[in-house]
Structure 1
Amino acid sequence: MSNRPEQDILAVVQTYLDGLYEGDTSKLAQAFHPAAHLYCTTGNTLVNVDQQQWYELVKSRPSAKSKGQGREHERLLLLDVTGPNTALVKLNCAILPRLFTDYLNFVLLDGRWQIISKVYHFETV
């Protein structure tokens, strides 16, 4: 861990984005705390997926990399370190035809930054 939490958090964000792009759940597991959940709404329905359910979904779909998709949609929009143990990252990414906005909530546990929850929105293009 460095003296600058932003650098450590950005390293986790890169691992997360690489894992998404490659469909690599081992990389995603490095970024997420084991108790993490993912949330979104579709219509009036809350989607609440635990980490293992999400990994199964990632494994079952073709990755962006395998489809020859670029990474031009990846953008860091916000990095807010709110205290010594919490942070929020907002970013854009894509697994076409879906464009995502992710809100990643981070906690510092056991000496490393980990994603504890993800709230996301997507649009289909």
Structure 2
Amino acid sequence: MQPDVRAAIEQTIQTYFDGLYEGNADKLASVFHPGSALTYDNAGTVLVWPLADWLKAVRERPSPQARGLARDDAILLIDQSGPTTALVKVKCQIPPRYFTDYLNLLCIGGQWKVAQKVFATEVRN
């Protein structure tokens, strides 16, 4: 992977992390493709959460930052499968919920955008 490509992907993910922690839906929207969605397992049922609905939920909940919650986010893996496609595995948290996200990115018009997010949640006491 070329260093400039890696840096661009990492910047997209950093904006994602910052948006999550700050509860900044506009910042999050800036790194997602408008047609993207979030997909997850809920007790054996696959649920698809439209991006607009998720951003609305982010706007309506107190941010982790405002709640004084610990921040622990990191990129665990970047796998670029072609010049315009990449998969990024990350960890993040909103205690007591801990997330592993698989972010599928596409480079659109020279900018890396999340085209699909698939995530798992673990609740800890």
TM-score range, shorter chain: over 0.9
Q: Which position in structure 2 is the counterpart of 1:27?
A: 27
Cα deviation, 1:42-97, whole Å, max 9, x if unaligned, reads 112111011100001111211110111121x2121101111101001001000111
Alignment of 1:1-125 (within 5 A): 4-71=4-71, 73-125=72-124
CA distance in 1: counterparts of 2:86 and 2:97, whole angstroms: 26
Q: CA RMSD in A?
A: 1.3
Cα deviation, 1:12-55, whole Å, max 9, x if unaligned, reads 00000000001001100111011111000011211101110000
Alpha-carbon distance change, 3 to 77 in structure 1, aligned in 2, over 3 angstroms? closer
Paired residue total: 123
For normalisation by structure 2, the TM-score amounts to 0.94
CA distance in 2: counterparts of 1:41 and 1:3, whole angstroms: 34
Show structure 1 runs of 5+ residues with no match: none
The one-letter code of the counterpart of 2:40 is: C
CA distance in 2: counterparts of 1:63 and 1:19, whole angstroms: 9
Task: Give the match's secondary structure for 2:63.
Answer: coil
Deviation of 1:3 after TM superposition, in Å, equals: 6.5
Task: Give the match's secondary structure for 2:21.
Answer: helix
Q: Report percent identity of matched pairs.
A: 41
Show structure 2 runs of 5+ residues with no match: none
CA distance in 1: counterparts of 2:11 and 2:25, whole angstroms: 16
Q: Following superposition, which runs of at least 4 residues in structure 1 exceed 4 angstroms of deviation?
A: none
